[in-house]
Amino acid sequence: MLSAQESCMSTQSISNIARALVVGGGIAGMASAISLAERGVAV
């Protein structure tokens, strides 16, 4: 039998959303934003 904590945990879904804010639009900032976006990070 499941404990109360295990029961609650099994009914909840946990989402892991990666987000990033790149400050600066120069070469390094744009390269960083493109690299992160290619890896699936919301930029």
> How many domains, in total, are found in the chain?
1
Residue 5 in domain? no
Residue 40 in domain? yes
Residue 8 in domain? no
| Residue 32: per-residue pLDDT | 94
| Residue 43: per-residue pLDDT | 92
Residue 10 in domain? no
Residue 20 in domain? yes
pLDDT, tens digit, 9 for 90 and up, residues 6-25: 555 556 667 788 999 999 98
Measure the CA–CA gap between 13 and 10, rounded to whole angstroms.
8
Please determine, for residue 3, whether its predicted confidence score (pLDDT) is greater than 70. Answer: no
Q: How far is CA 11 from the centre of its chain?
A: 21
- pTM of the predicted model over 0.85: no
Residue 9 in domain? no
| Residue 16: per-residue pLDDT | 80
Residue 7 in domain? no
- Print the domain residue range for 37: 16-43
Token pair of 20 as six digits: 């990033």
What's the whole-number average pLDDT of the chain? 81
